[in-house]
Structure 1
């Protein structure tokens, strides 16, 4: 298949979504604004953020500026955000989502995800997402970090099927059981941390493939994602890297090389919901919205 930065996948509700976009996890508001502007200038049309990242205001600022600078309309960009764990539940989700739209300087998002499956809340949260979808404030709804059993929970009560499951997905963490379930049920897998938080970039096996194709390790990984049919959202705060991450359309990995990378999986994940405080682990991560010193400069 011939890919380009304009390549899309068709979600199970008929909405088309770019297969390659920009992620902004662990970026402050100023960095998010600048990265979004660079990405859109260089042809990206998908942006992914979350309330937890603490930079929705920066993304909204960057999006508004980039649309004006590049003579684009809001409809030209596919914008994703996520429901924060502390906001989950039916009414709380509805109430807090309105402020997320305000931060993002938009009256709708293209995709809204449940960020993590918070115990005792994610079913009611999904029902709220269905209302948001029916009200036209999200063009598509999905989940993030849901394993197979929790996907089955959602699907057992839902009238609307999730369009994506956004998972940690990279050569050493492939979640094949989840991908297989998603493939069978017409749910797209979307990769967060596609470059393995940087640790995979040092893999000597991938470096050999990079040398073979005269590409960077990052470009090999992102091309592999495309050929696996996975939506991917690499993060960068450097303009040249944003450009390089999209320079993956002039080559194709052989079937043997795709299969070789498939074999690197060893479940080396950086984060999983079992360790979170809200999942019943009192020594786990205490989930909160990232706080940045520059937030006040962007919150209107």
Structure 2
């Protein structure tokens, strides 16, 4: 049976899913269809990725091929930063996202980044989307303790998820502790450290001892901490391996050995962007076809 976590509003969410960040829009439908054929039901996309239409098409193909229903899949997308701050604008933009995804609801809707001066009004719009049944759960991405504290002070609905960069090289302990203390489920983006962690000697030693791949060891390390993980692969064998995480666990010493790899350096962070309130930042963008 698929392992799930229960969000703070009672919604059950698969603990292992497929991310599509940096997936070429032309290839996304095939990736989703192939992943679904290999057991994946959770798919994570965003307007900023420029491939929501591919996810929607792939999901429709998967439903047709498998005989499953839309309700058998768990679909996550995110609000684009340029759509934040105005209630009506955000809701209109999200309605277009639903059309691109070929669905009338998503299972999880996230604010992609904490846009300076706008995320509280954006959250009010997400609360409206939740109330109207266009999302089963709502949450945030990349919010630190200060952002979360401010959001909660203004919110009617507690975020169900905080999706953050988390892997053997970055742990964000203050944010993790805050979320765990407030029953906000943690989800790891870039759970394999953009692939860099796969070559680490400590992880490879543990993998050899366990008879597992480095990716399986890393994902097991994250699952044992209660995270939802969304690794990406276009290869069916690796797709299956990334879900095959039962039947082994890491010892306390092995968990600590991986924890000691922490460098606490973000690969991407919001301070680079103007919408963060940083006047020296750069503008946000939506990925264009064939950009990757």
Q: Structure 1 residue aligned with 2:44, among 38, 45, 48?
A: 48
Q: Give the TM-score taking structure 1 as reference length.
A: 0.94
Pick one of 192, 206, 210 that aligns with 1:213: 210
Task: Map residues 133-212 of structure 1 onto 2, 5 A cutoff.
Answer: 133-212=130-209
CA contact (8 A) 1:35 1:239 kept: no
Aligned to 1:86: 82
What is the SS of the residue equivalent to 1:190?
A: strand
C-alpha separation in 2, matches of 1:291 and 1:284: 21
Aligned pair in 2 of structure 1 residues 84, 26: CA closer, same or farther (>3 Å)?
A: same
- Whole-Å Cα distance in 1 between the matches of residues 280 and 289 of structure 2? 25
1:223 corresponds to: 220
Shift of residue 30, structure 1, vs aligned partner: 2.7
Q: Which residue of 2 aligns with 1:258?
A: 255
Which structure 1 residue ranges, 5 or more long, are not aligned? 295-300
Residue 60 of structure 1 is matched in structure 2 by 56
Contact 1:32-1:237 within 8 A present in 2 as well:
no
SS in 1 for 2:170: coil
Distance in 2 of aligned mates of 1:38 and 1:200: 25
Q: CA RMSD in A?
A: 1.3
Deviation at 1:194, TM superposition (A): 0.2
CA-to-aligned-CA distance 1:32-90 (integer Å, 9 cap, x gap) = 11111111111111000000000000000000000110110000001000000001022
Within 1, Cα distance between the matches of 2:280 and 2:51? 27
Match of 1:268, SS state, is: coil
Partner of 1:115: 112
Q: What is the number of residues matched between the two proteins?
A: 290
Q: Which residue of 2 aligns with 1:72?
A: 68
Q: Is the deviation greater in 261-270 or in 168-177?
A: 261-270
- SS of residue matched to 1:174: coil
Which residues of structure 2 form unaligned runs of 5+?
none
Equivalent pair of 2:38/2:236 in contact (CA under 8 Å): no
1:17 paired residue among 10, 13, 19: 13
TM-score, length-scaled by structure 2: 0.96
1:244 shift after superposition? 1.8
Q: Is the CA contact 1:171–1:200 (under 8 Å) kept in the aligned structure 2?
A: yes
Residue 298 of structure 1 corresponds to which residue in structure 2? none
Answer with 88-97 or 56-65: which moved more.
Answer: 88-97
The 3-state SS of whatever aligns with 2:224 is helix
**Distance between the aligned counterparts of 2:136 and 2:277, measured in 1?**
33
Maintained 8 Å contact 1:9/1:16: yes
